Structure 1
Amino acid sequence: MPTVHFPPTPALPTLHNQPLASAADLDSDSDDGAMNLGNPSGRGARADRLGPTHPLRSLTPKRIAAIAAALLFLIFFFGHSSGGGREGYRSAATETLAPTGKAPNEAAVQLDKLPPSSPQKQQSASSKKCTPPKGQKATSYALMIDAGSTGSRMHLYTFSHCDPDPKALPKLEDEGFFTTKPGLSAYKGKPKEAAESLRGLMQHAFDGVPESERSCTPIAVKATAGLRLLGARESQAILDEVERWLNDEWPFQVVKDGVVVMDGKDEGVYAWITINFLLGLIGPDQPASAGTAAVMDLGGASTQIVFEPIYDPGSADHLAPGDHIYELQFAGADHVLYQHSHLGYGLMQARRAVHNLVAYSYVWQSAPKGTPVEWDELTTKDKIPNPCMFKGETKVVTLDPPGRSEVEVTMVGTGAGFEACRRIMEVMINKDAACDKPPCAFAGVYQPKMSEVFSAGKVWALSYFYDRIAPLGLSSPFSISALRKLTTDVCSGRNDASWARFKKNKEAMDELADRPEYCLDLTFMYSLLSLGYELDEERQVWMGKKVGDVELGWALGAALAMIEGHLTCRAD
């Protein structure tokens, strides 16, 4: 397990800047667009598309049939459907959870106010009290390009260095943000055009960085999901041309190994750096005993967790060896992090898995009724009852479980409620999977128990967690029990008295009206945090898009790590 050094060992340009980047490559404005529902030919291609812990990878037709039987029992036990399907079956919620109240101390943390230990509390370069480290300019710049699947985004950062300690982290003074579409992945076989697509972004950078600072300003390009789909040869051709073009046509310092497809684990760790930097929990003045914040990031295809376990120095317990260990040297301190990216457990993939399971149970139970349904004959005319959707709501979805052809059907919500939906999530999350290296979180993946090694640290939930929960009025921090209550209320449906809490919130009502799978989404999030990661009911969770007007995401951490690389200026 390699140690990751920040500053990195290769000699790079020297500058104590730190770029911050955000705008994760989730494309969360388009729910279905975030999940790749292409149907590769053959079973092998489909298996390759699923990660080793993907909730559908081990679902052979026999296993799906067994699960379908269990699902049928659960669905019928907790409610009978309200029509739909060729014969239909009735469903109504039969169990209602008692209210658990709001999260304790819900207003205790204000996201717009950073703690005194945050680098953002330093003096600005314009202040007479600014004292930069010896040999360091008070102001520096950094450029980070987030090359996402739908477009490329440029972050132009301006930093102040007003703490005389040479190990001190800088203050982010300003962020310029510029975008262009389409993304680099749209230029398959056209690497020169791919590079040229960044010209507008680079012109903004050229205009925004003073001439005297351009040769000392570092730049990196980090590509995410889109380029991975092109294949190694095509994506590398684009990256090589982008790097050549940046070096030949622009005055900035392209950092070594700076134009790359970003590793999934780095994305989570960079987000961890971002939050802990803003909260002042990492840096030269922070003792290891102070603890850091954990990050749980929910994307469309995967979900990531990163935290720094704390073990009693006298205990024999420690992190088991493996790829989940990320040894980080940053800002003069060593951090041993646990990280894992659960491929297939992003929000859109969770929807996909639930729809596949529900549809398979519908097909499986049709034979005993005397009206057997053939999978390959399913069409959008088939209305399949779904307990995770609002009663009567419909949505055309694509189904593609392993071993079956891709088909489209119409899902019809039964309004069976939170408990019925939660039990489907329990099957999908696969908490009881074989655990070769205990303890495991879910799907057989090793993870130390947070209740034992991270009992006091802050837990931050990002991306889709925020996008789905915040509009409904649950403020940060919230308890797991408050999320359960919110989810129960949402799943009760628009005609239930519990929806009174949303009726005066226009944003909430617009969100709920626009997404028939809101119950599914929230139930998955609750199940992931409570069952998957085993956060207890009163554990507090923070969420946000910004902290102190600085956007959260991987890019700030990536930029900070780049600036920590002792950068040097270009000779030319």
Structure 2
Amino acid sequence: MVSFPPKSALTTPLPTTHTNANLSSTHLDSLDQEDDFELEMSLANSALNGRRNSDKERGSHPFRALTPKRVALIAGSVLLLIFWFGKGTGGGRDGYAAGSTSTEIAPKEAEVAVSKLPPSSPQKQPGASSKKCTPPPGQKATTYALMIDAGSTGSRLHLYTFSHCDPTPGALPKLEDEGFYTTKPGLSSYAGRPKEAAKSLRSLMQHAVGAKGVPEKERSCTPVAVKATAGLRLLGERESQEILREVERWLTEEWPFTVVEDGVTIMDGRDEGVYAWITINSLLGLIGPSDALPSNSAAIMDLGGASTQIVFEPTFSPKSPSKLAPGDHVYDLDFAGQDHVLYQHSHLGYGLMQARRAVHNLVAFSYVWQSAPKGKPVVWEDLTTKDRIPNPCMFKDESKIVSLDPPGREAVQVTMVGTGAGFEACRRVVEVMIAKDAACEEPPCAFAGVYQPQLGEVFSAGKVWALSYFYDRIAPLGLTSPFSISSLRTLTSNVCAGRSSPTWSRFKGNAEAKHELDDRPEYCLDLTFMLSLLSLGYELEEERMVWMGKQVNGVELGWALGAALAMVQGHLSCRAD
């Protein structure tokens, strides 16, 4: 059973002293959402090269255990059909015609308003300043929490203000306010210099004690945690632990806040997905101590650059012989006094940017494989940007220089040129990459041989939320939330038909869509991968509805809030100095 905060596995408590902090502050720009991508890609590539061989990563990438010869044979046979027969505009599947149009308008906001939240959502509760605020016994009306996201290129401080106005014992708090501050570079930039790494967080902590920070009388009871991600994972055990130990010492000795047990750590990938699950389900009022909560929590499908995560709470019929198989995918969560048994998995290598690379590699292998019968054999190591390789997943005649780096072959760069073959042609390539038919050692499997209970059987009624790149690529094109898988199929088919196709009339008057599609020759590839991941990989039915968004009532749908809620729901105590 996992409870929050978990018991420390890092250090023993350290003695505490204080020094006066410099209260000058610096305005810092927000970090781009793709800042961590290159380091995440390095992690993914490390896994592909055999550096991480645990059972939980089995089947985590489409090229695992595929030799160049095997890939060439698969890609060649499949892509030969594509190039011979897939040069039409590309129609939909199962009756979803490419010519369908939509009058949907791109959403003006990426958030769900308070008025649309269920009564059980804590965001519907009155604020701490309201006369209707009745805190639970022994609970202050207002509390604070500090969560530092230590990414690879920078660190971000989330300063949360919570109100506790639901008198139900253990009720989830309402998020009243979030301060967000950033600094660069990230902790991983200070390899071998742990003291400098810790001090790099000074500007963030100055905000926490500044005029808009935590009131002085509340600081000793305010928890702080640091969750590191991709960057520190790459440093190796010794150097990363040196930095984390120094950060914990520095926070404890120089700042007045309570460093929670096991609060300064490298976050496990499974925790990241679960924290995001907590964020959404708490904001929507789907989890908590109340008996009046809906019976079904929401699932999340988060698509990053290097990996994609799925987290949901399966429900098995008492009469069904099927149960959740044991393994690393099981996450026992004790949250707000309630027990949840979650299924979670992070598919390393199936993020959007890795999917692009995998498709490009497949197309290039086919190109090389087909060259020999034509009497002009191409040597992989001789490929350069002068080689213009036809790609069915790109718009007709549009080109892009791409990097190819399949296992067992030298990294090269080539120029991919779109054939405009359309949706069906692109789909056939993408579905090879998804590896739906990979060996499944413990059925049922989603894709790439990874065990997962079938959503149609154990999660038929719950809402599915698609986050991150799902939203970034789909929402600007006018598909509003919630959307059906069939409507996403139609949108994908329309986009893949190309800029000169009549189907692009659906974007008429949509400046956001036109801006999004400009200079992105791989948009067909991106949408086809997302559709295939949802429909083929996770087996969502054609009429299954999917919700997407960036915010709920102005609150970002990321892992940080979930981690903070888990932290404040734990058994916290004020520091005594």
Provide TM-score, normalisation by structure 1: 0.90
What does residue 519 of structure 1 align with? 524
What does residue 19 of structure 2 align with? none
Amino acid in structure 2 at the alignment position of 1:126: S
Q: 1 CA distance for matches of 2:47 and 2:306?
A: 20
CA shift digits 1:52-81 (9 cap, x unpaired): 3211122201211211222232312433xx
What does residue 374 of structure 1 align with? 379
What does residue 416 of structure 2 align with? 411
Are 1:111 and 2:128 an aligned pair? Answer: no
What does residue 348 of structure 1 align with? 353
- On the 8 A contact 2:394/2:523 being kept in 1, the answer is yes
Residue number among 547, 550, 571 corresponding to 1:545 in the alignment: 550
CA shift digits 1:486-526 (9 cap, x unpaired): 11111111111111111311111111113211111000000
Amino acid in structure 2 at the alignment position of 1:178: Y
What does residue 235 of structure 2 align with? 230
Change (3 A) 1:45 1:341: closer
Q: What secondary structure does 1:296 align onto?
A: strand
Residue number among 258, 263, 266 corresponding to 2:268 in the alignment: 263
- On the 8 A contact 2:37/2:306 being kept in 1, the answer is no
- On the 8 A contact 2:6/2:262 being kept in 1, the answer is no
Higher mean alpha-carbon deviation, 53-62 vs 428-437, is at 53-62
Change (3 A) 1:448 1:500: same
Q: 2 CA distance for matches of 1:251 and 1:38?
A: 35
CA shift digits 1:4-38 (9 cap, x unpaired): 123646799xxxxxxxxxxxx99544697476369
Residue number among 389, 395, 411 corresponding to 2:394 in the alignment: 389
Change (3 A) 1:29 1:271: same
Q: 2 CA distance for matches of 1:439 and 1:92?
A: 35
What does residue 312 of structure 2 align with? 307
Change (3 A) 1:37 1:512: farther
Shift of 1:45: 8.0
- On the 8 A contact 2:301/2:311 being kept in 1, the answer is yes
Q: 1 CA distance for matches of 2:191 and 2:563?
A: 26
What does residue 337 of structure 1 align with? 342
Q: How does 1:50-449 map to 2 (within 5 A)?
A: 51-53=57-59, 54-79=61-86, 91-93=87-89, 95=91, 97-98=96-97, 111-112=112-113, 113-207=116-210, 208-286=213-291, 290-449=295-454
Amino acid in structure 2 at the alignment position of 1:509: K
CA shift digits 1:337-377 (9 cap, x unpaired): 11111111010110010010000110110011111110010
What does residue 481 of structure 2 align with? 476
Q: 2 CA distance for matches of 1:553 and 1:286?
A: 26
Q: What secondary structure does 1:290 align onto?
A: coil
- On the 8 A contact 1:216/1:568 being kept in 2, the answer is yes
Change (3 A) 1:491 1:349: same
Change (3 A) 1:102 1:335: farther
Shift of 1:193: 1.4
Asked which structure has the greater RCO (Cα within 8 Å, sep 6+), the reply is 1
CA shift digits 1:195-233 (9 cap, x unpaired): 111110000011101000011100000011111111111
Q: What secondary structure does 2:264 align onto?
A: strand
- On the 8 A contact 2:39/2:230 being kept in 1, the answer is no
Q: What secondary structure does 2:409 align onto?
A: coil
Q: What secondary structure does 2:2 align onto?
A: strand
Q: What secondary structure does 1:153 align onto?
A: strand
Q: What secondary structure does 2:346 align onto?
A: strand
What does residue 4 of structure 2 align with? 6
Higher mean alpha-carbon deviation, 43-52 vs 468-477, is at 43-52
- On the 8 A contact 1:502/1:509 being kept in 2, the answer is yes
Higher mean alpha-carbon deviation, 561-570 vs 70-79, is at 70-79
- On the 8 A contact 1:471/1:511 being kept in 2, the answer is yes
What does residue 21 of structure 2 align with? none
Q: 1 CA distance for matches of 2:477 and 2:510?
A: 8
Change (3 A) 1:37 1:165: closer
CA shift digits 1:234-282 (9 cap, x unpaired): 1111111111111111010000111111000000000000000011000
Q: 2 CA distance for matches of 1:312 and 1:26?
A: 45
Change (3 A) 1:45 1:427: closer
- On the 8 A contact 1:35/1:348 being kept in 2, the answer is no
- On the 8 A contact 1:78/1:94 being kept in 2, the answer is no
Q: What secondary structure does 1:365 align onto?
A: helix
Change (3 A) 1:367 1:430: same
Q: 2 CA distance for matches of 1:395 and 1:128?
A: 60
Shift of 1:455: 0.5
Gaps of 5+ in 1: 13-24, 80-90
Higher mean alpha-carbon deviation, 58-67 vs 347-356, is at 58-67
Higher mean alpha-carbon deviation, 471-480 vs 158-167, is at 158-167
Q: 1 CA distance for matches of 2:493 and 2:235?
A: 41
Are 1:556 and 2:561 an aligned pair? Answer: yes
Change (3 A) 1:192 1:326: same
Change (3 A) 1:561 1:94: closer
What does residue 463 of structure 1 align with? 468
Change (3 A) 1:520 1:49: farther
Q: What secondary structure does 1:280 align onto?
A: coil
Amino acid in structure 2 at the alignment position of 1:179: T
Higher mean alpha-carbon deviation, 398-407 vs 227-236, is at 227-236
Change (3 A) 1:26 1:68: farther
- On the 8 A contact 2:171/2:336 being kept in 1, the answer is yes
Change (3 A) 1:103 1:111: farther
Gaps of 5+ in 2: 14-29
Q: 2 CA distance for matches of 1:350 and 1:546?
A: 26
- On the 8 A contact 1:37/1:398 being kept in 2, the answer is no
CA shift digits 1:133-188 (9 cap, x unpaired): 22221111000001111211100011111122221111111100001111111112
Are 1:450 and 2:455 an aligned pair? Answer: yes
Shift of 1:124: 0.8
CA shift digits 1:428-474 (9 cap, x unpaired): 00000111111110011111110011111000000110111111111
- On the 8 A contact 1:78/1:93 being kept in 2, the answer is no
Change (3 A) 1:504 1:471: same
